[in-house]
Amino acid sequence: MNLANRDLVSIDDLSNGEIEALFSLADKMSDSTDEQSGLCRGKIMASLFFEPSTRTKLSFEAGMLRLGGSVISAADIGASSLAKGESIADMAKVVGSYADIIVIRHPWEGAAKVVADYAGIPVINAGDGSHEHPTQTLCDLYTIRKERQTIRGLRIALWGDLKRGRTVHSLIYALARFDATILFCPGPGLEMPVHVLRRLSTEYGGEVKSCRDLNQELETGPYPVDAIYRTPSSPHQLAMLPDISMQVELNAGVDALYVTRLQKERQGPATKEQELNKGYPVVDKKLLRGKGFRKALVMHPLPRVDELAYELDADPRSMYFKQAAYGVPVRMALVALLLGVKEITIPGEDDCFAPKAPYPVYARDSGVKCPNMNCVSNQETEAKYIKPAFAIVSRAPLTLRCIYCDYELYPRYIASSEWHQGKVENKKYHSASSRFARNIKLENLIVFTSEEEAQAQQFKPSSYVSQ
């Protein structure tokens, strides 16, 4: 199968079968690095890293050079035309005429999607704000597969900053697709975002159980378990006794402990550093003596700060430097596939992740904006090219998901473009919870997050507006 001219913006841009086949190609490239040196001769990679990076940037560039290609780069927004107010879309069009493939890291969530929409060449997301980091997830999955021979059915604990850590946001979707059980172990106030958990439970099957919502106190051992995701293939003999079932899950131990650092650069400016560090969980020898971690791989996307003790570097369970090294063959395989210089054989359909049919998209200009102020759709320089757009993921309750950053919002009011027939006196808005929310045809749906938005467009409240 040929993956030429595809983009990798989200981990869901690759099926399970494509991921497995990519890993097989990475194995071959790792075993015969010298034989790959002519694959990308004459090809140019644009390496656009507008946030600090060491491993991701260098592994992509090393991979392209090992494939025989060339690299052009930009590594500082201040030294690029973006500092002059140029839009990402314009930059993408220009760079797309200089290179054959783009790798981009940017602080705005959704920036990689905009580049992919406008560049006209394959685009790889190397991290967009707190949103996703799909190639790190490929390296993580590859590491687990190399060490455990499989990903399916494993128990993975995610540790640390789950709120703003983009690596774990991509990773949980992939783990769920490969039938893993996930334990969430966040630092204080750093729990996995609600919209990420909701997407996890609604689109990948299985269930997310919060430890705080159970009737009795669970013994979580030496680690702070906040919630557990159980795959649909997990045994559910104890489903009628959730407290006991959860305790069984906790007592079973984990196959891998995925540690993340505190994302200080994404915290609000008013947050004090001492408050951030207070209570942040640390992984050290003492913790790993617990029976739950006896056979656990210790993983980390790096860089580390204080959350992972240096004393663990010599521990045979520590995988983080292997993860970094695997980044070269994995990214070599990905680049070769997207440039079309290599093809792969995809396993049978039973092994492939089949995403749900695309949700209908709401893109009407009714004043609704993404609630995430770091979303690319909220940036002034991009307003000329892109407008807020949302996937309608539910009608009851009405739920919109930003197509750029995945944040969700719940409009309070709705109207129809059909009912008023162009007459101002007939323009009425209704509560989103009313029966009208489900009766309006999608092509006629107008949503508002406030009465001010509705009234600014000359709509008046109907008798169905809740007081």
Please state, in angstroms and rounded to a whole number, the distance separating the CA atoms of residues 389 and 411. Answer: 13
| Domains and their CATH numbers in the chain | 11-130+325-351 (3.40.50.1370), 135-323 (3.40.50.1370), 361-461 (2.30.30.20)
Per-block mean pLDDT, blocks of 10 residues, the chain (467 long): 92 93 94 86 96 92 96 76 79 96 96 96 96 96 94 90 92 92 88 89 81 51 73 53 48 85 70 61 85 88 89 93 95 96 75 64 88 94 90 89 94 81 72 80 89 87 71
Residue-wise pLDDT for 183-192, tens only, equals 998 888 888 9
What is the pLDDT at residue 13?
Answer: 94
Span between the terminal Cα atoms of the chain, in Å: 57
**Each residue's pLDDT tens digit, 44-65:** 999 999 988 899 999 999 999 9
Q: What is the pLDDT of residue 355?
A: 54
CA distance 448 to 262: 36
- pLDDT 10s digits, 319-374: 999 999 999 999 999 999 999 999 888 876 545 455 556 889 999 887 899 999 99
Which amino acid type is present at position 384? Answer: K
According to the 3-state scheme, what is the secondary structure of the chain? CCCCCCCECCHHHCCHHHHHHHHHHHHHHHHCHHHHCCCCCCCEEEEEECCCCCHHHHHHHHHHHHCCCEEEEECCHHHCHHHHCCCHHHHHHHHHCCCCEEEEEECCECHHHHHHHHHCCCEEEEEECCCCCHHHHHHHHHHHHHHHCCCCCCEEEEEECCCCCHHHHHHHHHHHHCCCEEEEEECCCCCCCHHHHHHHHHHCCCEEEEHHHCCCCCCCCCCCCCEEEECCCCCCCCCCCHHHHHHHHHHCCCCEEEECCCCHHHCCCCCCHHHHHCCCCCECHHHHCCHHHCCCEEECCCCCCCCECHHHCCCCCECHHHHHHHHHHHHHHHHHHHCCCCCCCCCCHHHCCCCCCCCCEECCCCCCCCCCCCEHHHCHHHCCCCCCCEEEEEECCEEEEECCCCCEECCCEEEECCCCCCCHHHCEEEECCCCHHHHCCHHHEEEECCHHHHHHCCCEECCCCCC
Q: What does pTM read for this prediction?
A: 0.89
What pLDDT does residue 119 have? 96
